[in-house]
Amino acid sequence: MIFRPELNVTKCGKSLFHWLRDHRRKKILQEPFPADFREILKKRYRHYSFLDDAEKRHLEQLVQVFMAEKEFEGCKGLEITHEIRVLISAEACMLLLCLHHDLYRGLDSILVYPSVVVTPPSTRGVFLQSPLIERQRTPISGQAFMRGPVILVWDVVKRDARHPERKHNVVYHEFAHLLDMEDGTADGTPVLHGREQYRQWAKVFTEEFVALRRRSEQGRKTFLDSYGALNEAEFFAVATEFFFDEPVQMQTKHKALYDVLSGFYKQDTAARERRYREGRQHRVK
């Protein structure tokens, strides 16, 4: 079933009509969002505070459905708590906040490790289904597989959610990979909204990717993390992290890149962050 929120129009112009047509999801949404879950979001997830009331309610609805549909599996003795499920779900759903989306269809489970994990050495079979899989034993904080699962490291997730100023967010990064791979390839281009957007995307992303790669090779300072210079897929994942974590700076320094990402995600993260900061200043005064 396609997940298309299309009624209850919010500022993002979406509604919940098609979503509510699905009986199972409708039942899930009849339950109120638990107050203790909201507390977790308020205390542990900085970007939740940036949202206006309508966006918060919509994110909570996405979280409810996501949590009901996805399996969370604790690895290496990690016990899955409400905090783990709520926080990861919220960050994954933040990317979809204004998109017509079926909530990462094909992803069934999320494997959560307590701390950094080392990938197994390259083996044939499931690990070679995705070009994103590392070929050697490498310490990682997250990994995305085509059609799932997603691997995440809890202490990194927790830190990233509270500290966007670090400009790293492993959940945004790995779920951006899932969006990218929806069309069957990890090439840094998710399914876009029309021919003009593809044209603009190819132009801007090519210029920005080549520039990042050149500066990285020359050892020069870069705005985006140089990890994005690895390939087009990593470029999109890293750019997504910065689009949510450092949007005001991105809009200033890489406006064209910000604009195409804003067009894709249908979110103006820079305006949202400015609103939040101004609101805080007024409250402090």
Q: Which of 72, 82, 60, 74 is nearest to 115 (CA)?
A: 74
Residue whose beta carbon is closest to Zn ion: 237
List of residues 6+ apart from 227 with CB closer than 8 A: 234, 238
| Contact status, residue 243 vs residue 250, Cβ threshold 8 Å | yes
Maximum Cα–Cα distance across the chain: 60
Q: How far is the CB of 68 from Zn ion (least distance, A)?
A: 27
Q: How far is the CB of 58 from Zn ion (least distance, A)?
A: 27
Q: How far is the CB of 231 from Zn ion (least distance, A)?
A: 9
208 versus 234: smaller Cβ distance to Zn ion: 234
Structure token pair of residue 31: 């339950």
DSSP reduced 3-state for 117: strand
50 versus 235: smaller Cβ distance to Zn ion: 235
67 versus 170: smaller Cβ distance to Zn ion: 170
Name which of residues 139 to 158 contact Zn ion (CB under 5 A): none
Q: Which of 62, 84, 156, 237 binds Zn ion (CB under 5 A)?
A: 237
55 versus 174: smaller Cβ distance to Zn ion: 174
Name which of residues 207 to 236 contact Zn ion (CB under 5 A): 234
Q: Give the residue carrying structure tokens 């951006």.
A: 176
Question: How far apart, in Å, are the Cα atoms of 264 and each of 179, 201, 232?
Answer: 11, 9, 16
Q: How far is the CB of 152 from Zn ion (least distance, A)?
A: 12
- Decide the pairing of beta strands 109-113 and 150-153: parallel
Q: How far is the CB of 229 from Zn ion (least distance, A)?
A: 12
40 versus 110: smaller Cβ distance to Zn ion: 110
Q: Is the peptide bond before 149 cis (omega within 30 degrees of 0)?
A: yes
Q: Is 67 in the site for Zn ion (CB under 5 A)?
A: no
Number of residues that bind Zn ion (CB under 5 A): 2
Q: How far is the CB of 177 from Zn ion (least distance, A)?
A: 6
138 versus 252: smaller Cβ distance to Zn ion: 138
| Contact status, residue 37 vs residue 63, Cβ threshold 8 Å | yes
| Contact status, residue 16 vs residue 59, Cβ threshold 8 Å | no
Kindly report the backbone phi and psi dihedral angles of residue 194, in degrees, each rounded to the nearest multiple of 5, phi listed first. Answer: 105, 165
3 versus 145: smaller Cβ distance to Zn ion: 145
Q: How far is the CB of 19 from Zn ion (least distance, A)?
A: 29
d(CA 281, CA 239): 28
Using CB under 5 A, list all residues that contact Zn ion. Answer: 234, 237
